[in-house]
Amino acid sequence: MTTPTIVDFRRNLKAQESAPARVLKGEPKTWVRNYYTDPSQQFFAGTWASNVGKWQVEYTEHEFCHLLEGCVVLTSADGKRWQFNAGDAWVIPAGFSGTWETVEPARKRYATFEAAKPA
């Protein structure tokens, strides 16, 4: 059996730019560098960045976030609010819905897991 290769986030990887759907404020753009996808296509890890803006979110995956730069605010559909600053880490469970607001340009490391859908 071959030993898996370590995934090094320091390597240069071209970012994929996109715009969030359901924008509520600003003209946000995001940039993703996905460094790892497991063979089942359920687990992903990489870096993500965003300029200022606010948009609606509905998570089908579980996501671990570690904010490296900036400030973001997540607000649940029922109005609970969380503010995260550079250095903070948190988990967004699958099923969370509400808004994501990038208050200051932000950059995070992420790891996501999406359970397989029942057949």
Contact at 8 Å (CB) between 74 and 99?
yes
Could you tell me the domains of the chain?
Answer: 17-113 (2.60.120.10)
pLDDT tens string for the chain (119 positions)?
A: 889 899 999 999 999 999 999 999 999 999 999 999 999 999 999 999 999 999 999 999 999 999 999 999 999 999 999 999 999 999 999 999 999 999 999 999 999 999 988 77
Res 27: pLDDT? 97
Q: Report pLDDT for 117.
A: 80
SS3 76: strand
d(CA 1, CA 9): 25
Rounded Cα gap, residues 111 and 46, in angstroms: 7
The label of the residue with tokens 């969030």 reads 20
